[in-house]
Amino acid sequence: MKSKIEAIRNQFSKDIEDAKSAKDVEALKVKYLGKKGPVQDLMRGLKDVTDADRPHVGKWINDLKEDLMNACMRSLNELEQKEESERLSHENIDVTLPGRRHHLGRRHIVNQFMDEIVDIFIEMGFSIQEGPEIESDYYNFEALNFSKDHPARDMQDTFYITEDMLLRTHTTNLQVRLMETQKPPIRVLSPGRVYRNEEISARSHVFFHQVEAMYIDKGVTFGDLIATLESFLVKLFGAGIKSRFRPSYFPFVEPGLEVDIQCLLCRGKGCGICKHSGWLEVLGAGMIHPEVLRNGGIDPETYTGYAWGMGLERMILIKHRIKDIRILTQNDLRFLEQF
Ligand code: DAH
């Protein structure tokens, strides 16, 4: 009996050494330890063994069974690891490489600033409406009280597409369009891109962005304009911001004014950016000219309104100490990712 057991053990040792894959080992496991295998045969043979011999013969068989089982497990482990590392070496994946960074897009710095302004005005009860960038001479100039030969047209060098069509020079173009289609109270903020036929340089570009605010109702006063502007500037630039209002001229408002804020960089001390005046010009404003209201079909005897317009790029350049406006339109991720 002992020799029979050893013969099985020896044959198994040879077989398992020849096993080349986990699959081969699984097959050996079934061959030797399965129901029709030699170990089960031995078990069945136990009944023919004498009572005196049965305990130690039983132990031999059990030891054999256990040894074969352990040998199978060991070999399975080894082969599986080998197969896995072979598979990985073919896959060409370096699992030690750091993961690739996933680039998330973000709002452009100009749009971020625009969003800030839009949010402030939504809170104040304004609706947001965008006007056309390709505009007629009428809505961009004539309806706003610039007659054909008005010298103020020269203030805004214009890209003409045809004699009557142009790229809007300001977001003020929406004013008369809105008056024609809406009844007061009208309370609108209009953000968008505007165009000027200028030499491109570090300080000026042929397109930039403006926001235009307009409020028309019965009894809107100059005091309302000043109060709204002041609270807007505080919300945008912070509680400590100082502002001043200067009389100015725009054909579509009367009276017209320009608004300065204390220089964001030197806080009023005077620096290169504010040309040593301590102040920065931020926007134009005024009470809507009666002639403009009339052009929009609104009776200036019954209604009054205020409006103002502000360019965004200049503010952004100052706020972030950017020296060249052209970088805002160059799509350079190294720049854009900083905001
Ligand atoms: N449209 C003017 C510009 O582009 C800015 C402006 C000035 C808008 C006065 C207004 C205003 O609504 O009342 O320079």
Q: How far apart are CA 318 and CA 238, in angstroms?
A: 15
77 and 125 in one domain? no
Q: How far apart are CA 281 and CA 205, in angstroms?
A: 18
**Band of residue 5 on the pLDDT scale cut at 50, 70, 90:** confident
180 and 120 in one domain? yes
Span 264-277, average pLDDT: 86
pTM higher than 0.85: no
pLDDT tens-digit readout, 217-235: 999 999 999 999 999 999 9
118 and 73 in one domain? no
- Residue 39 domain flag: yes
Q: Are 184 and 214 in contact, with CB atoms under 8 Å apart?
A: no
Residues with CB under 6 A from ligand 1: 170, 172, 212, 250, 253, 256, 284-286, 307-309
CATH code, domain carrying 321: 3.30.930.10
What is the whole-number distance in angstroms between the Cα of residue 302 and the centre of ligand 1? Answer: 23
Q: Are 252 and 258 in contact, with CB atoms under 8 Å apart?
A: no
- Residue 149 domain flag: yes
pLDDT tens-digit readout, 289-332: 999 999 999 999 999 999 999 999 988 988 888 888 999 999 88
* pLDDT value at residue 145: 93
- Residue 325 domain flag: yes
Residues in the chain: 339
What is the whole-number distance in angstroms between the Cα of residue 169 and the centre of ligand 1? Answer: 10
Question: Residue 325's closest CA among 335, 310, 334?
Answer: 335
172 and 217 in one domain? yes
Q: How far apart are CA 56 and CA 63, in angstroms?
A: 10
179 and 38 in one domain? no
Of the three residues 57, 89, 121, the one that is the final residue of a domain is: 89
The partner residues of 306 in beta bridges, in order of sequence, read: 215, 287
Q: How far apart are CA 158 and CA 169, in angstroms?
A: 6
237 and 330 in one domain? yes
The burial of 318, by beta-carbon neighbours within 10 Å (0-12 exposed, 13-18 middle, 19 or more buried), is given as middle
CA angle (300 as vertex; 297, 301 as ends), nearest 5: 125
Q: Which amino acid, one-letter code, is at 148?
A: K
- Residue 95 domain flag: no
Span 136-152, average pLDDT: 89
Q: Which domain holds residue 199?
A: 109-336
Question: Residue 259's closest CA among 267, 274, 248?
Answer: 248
Q: Choose which residue among 145, 197, 252, 289 to substitute to test ligand 1 binding: the one with the highest number of ligand atoms within 8 A of its C-beta.
A: 252
160 and 59 in one domain? no
Number of domains, the chain:
2
- Residue 167 domain flag: yes
What is the whole-number distance in angstroms between the Cα of residue 258 and the centre of ligand 1? Answer: 9
Residue nearest atom 12 of ligand 1, based on CA coordinates: 308
CA 90 to chain CA mean position, Å: 39
- Residue 99 domain flag: no
SS (H, E, C) 244-292: EEEEECCCCEEEEEEEEEECCCCCCCCCCCCCCCCEEEEEEEEEECHHH
pLDDT tens-digit readout, 83-129: 888 887 887 778 888 888 888 888 999 999 999 999 999 999 999 99
Q: How far apart are CA 173 and CA 84, in angstroms?
A: 70
